[in-house]
Amino acid sequence: MTPAQLDQKRQQHSDVPCNGCTACCRSDRIVLHPQFDRHDDYRHHLEPHAGGQVRVLDRKDNGDCTYLTDTGCSIKGKAPEICKRFDCRVLLLITPTERQAIRVAQNAAMAHVYAAGAERLHTLTGTPS
């Protein structure tokens, strides 16, 4: 995929064949979109970001998203915009290897997200096999 196609893919709702994978629900902060997400609909808190603050979904003590259950996302129908658009395959393709290593060093669970993207990469339309 070209960089333009990848950027376009990031703007659309995701079509990742997760097949029960929840790596992205366990790995990183889930930021609520100020325009698309009604923050009152979610259990969240404020975190510092780029000189300001962002609203981030709460996490369980083990680091999982507060809405992750044994059977998957408990709010799938009304998940935040970032969840609807997240594509581990695209993340893998747009993140340079050096940056991936940094992200994994900052949060070891990100290795599972990149691995999930690599495992599913063949399902991304327009990507060479």
The whole-number pLDDT of residue 119 equals 95
Higher pLDDT, residue 80 or 10: 80
In a domain, 129, yes or no: no
Domains in the chain, number? 1
In a domain, 103, yes or no: yes
Copy the structure tokens of residue 15.
């079509």
Copy the structure tokens of residue 4.
């333009």
Rounded CA separation 108/23 (Å): 11
Range of the domain at 49: 3-123
Predicted confidence (pLDDT) per residue in 1-34, tens digit: 677 777 677 666 778 899 889 999 987 789 999 9
**88: closest CA among 53, 54, 119, 50?**
119
In a domain, 128, yes or no: no
Predicted confidence (pLDDT) per residue in 48-63, tens digit: 988 899 999 999 999 8
pTM score over 0.95: no
The whole-number pLDDT of residue 129 equals 46
H-type alpha helices, 13-128: 23-27, 81-85, 88-94, 97-106, 110-120
**pLDDT of 123 above 60:** yes
**pLDDT of 124 above 80:** yes
The whole-number pLDDT of residue 127 equals 58
Q: How far separated are the first and last CA of the chain, in Å rounded? A: 11
Phi, psi dihedral angles at 123 (to 5 degrees): -90, -5
Higher pLDDT, residue 39 or 6: 39
pLDDT tier, 116 (very low <50, low <70, confident <90, very high otherwise)? very high
In a domain, 78, yes or no: yes
**pLDDT of 96 above 70:** yes
In a domain, 64, yes or no: yes
